[in-house]
Amino acid sequence: MATEDKNRATAAAILPLVGGAANVSSIAHCMTRLRLGLHDRSLVDDEALKAVPAVMGVVEDDTYQIVLGPGTVARVTPEFEQLVEEGRAAAPEPGEAAPSVSAEELAAQGAAMKAARKAKNATPFKLFLRRIANIFVPLIPALIGCGIIAGLNGLLVNLGWLTSVTPALAAMASGFMALIAVFVGYNTAKEFGGTPILGGAVAAIIVFPGVANIEAFGQKLSPGQGGVLGALGAAVLAVYVEKWCRRWVPEALDVLVTPTLTVLVSGLVTIFGLMYVAGEISTAIGTFADWLLSNGGAGAGFVLGGLFLPLVMLGLHQALIPIHTTLIEQQGYTVLLPILAMAGAGQVGAAAAVYFRLPRNESIRRTIKSALPAGLLGVGEPLIYGVSLPLGRPFITACVGGAFGGGFIGLFNQLGDKVGSTAIGPSGWALFPLLDGNHGLGTTAAIYAGGLLVGYFAGFLATYFFGFSKDLLTEFNVSQEPAESTVAATDGPSTPDAPAKEPAGV
């Protein structure tokens, strides 16, 4: 089947299972998930969705999220959007068919359910973190691309190869990072309801070379001072100034006065306040990260690697995105990401142990075999939502594996061998092209590979020996396939084609 046909088939399989085109209110995607706003959550068939071959899992948050994996989600989403548009266009005209429930009643019902669902999760802190993620996640493809080019350029420079090309590669790798504050400002204004280009204009002040001639708090400013944190603050301020102007400036003067006052007021505050304050905060973040791993070492890595999966489940990992970006701006790489990536290694090890501990459960073993390659490349959702989380205890032992892997890398950081990543997003084996450190690529890659192996083995051993109670084995170590007529009946009632079980008791 052609790739385009396969992607359209996936989209066509998903659409009726989420209630059809009329039930979809919004469509978006991140690196691995198709995120849908739905009018009526009760119309979704979760189990049927999970059975679609391309679907790795589903997650419900403020949007309904269907895990498709990197690459796939970017190709399926346009097909899904097209099918939704076609479905809406083909909907009956008002006089053609009278629904049993009016559109207003259906909308009211959906809105009530959506509000109730949001009320459980929509704490101010989590909503703020989602906004932060919406600002930085669109930047990840550029960070990855430029990070890989930077790694390639560093390798060529060290080898002395292609000396006429390496300056061009350096420009490609550094150009985006030199202007990342502008993109952050643009996205921030867009996310907070302002005019995106005004947010970008105010943030551009931070990277303008001419700020080197300005003095604030008794010190000369430097271009880029404050970085992405300063850009974030400047753009948020610009949004509030713009909204104030929209309320009070007469409409006849709005087109002239509002943008001028927005840039002027926000720009002055940025130059004579935010750049200095954000610069101090950014420096403190870098200093603290270095101090934490230099002094905490294995202990700090153990805690970070062990807690990352629960943070992901709670959505709190989004708070780390601006910290990663700040470290990349300051040091050229983030030392936190390789440690956090060990959580995925623990997940892989745990899944392998589950495979051997449940030899009769063909359904789970099939899921593991299909999801393991993605897990090795750092895409953990299929293993989390398809294996460890439904089983319960193996999710905890997977965290143990991540803790030991993180402790391994943290120990080497304490010994002076820093392991960092020049971009955020990938993990697992996919992180190798983005690795950087202070002792050469070979040493850095060897330490990271060692951490992965420790995570794999620790996750495997913890799950194999401690991941299953007797009840859990009795419940899950059974065939999920339909019984053949030639096979003798087993003791007790059988349940062929049983759906995935709920998390067992820990």
For the residues of 6-68, what is the DSSP string, one character each? HHHHHHHHHHHHTT-GGGEEEEEE-SSEEEEEES-GGG--HHHHHHSTT--EEEESSSEEEE-
Q: Find all residues with CB under 8 Å of 366, minimum gap 6, and list them.
A: none
For the residues of 379-407, what is the DSSP string, one character each? --HHHIIIIIHHHSHHHHHHHHHHHHHHH
The values of phi and psi at residue 30, to 5°, are: -110, -150
Q: Find all residues with CB under 8 Å of 118, minimum gap 6, and list them.
A: 62
Kindly state the tokens that stand for 206.
């931070």
Q: Please state, in angstroms and as integers, the Cα–Cα distance from residue 295 to each residue in 109, 290, 357, following that order.
A: 55, 8, 39
3-state secondary structure of 163: coil
Q: Please state, in angstroms and as integers, the Cα–Cα distance from residue 264 to each residue in 185, 204, 205, 259, following that order.
A: 15, 13, 11, 8
75 closest CA partner among 46, 54, 59, 57: 54
User: Is 30 a residue of the active site?
Assistant: yes
385 closest CA partner among 129, 61, 29: 61
Instruction: For Cα atoms 217, 221, 222, give the angle at the middle one, nearest 5 degrees.
Output: 155
CA 227 to chain centre: 22
Active site residue ranges: 30
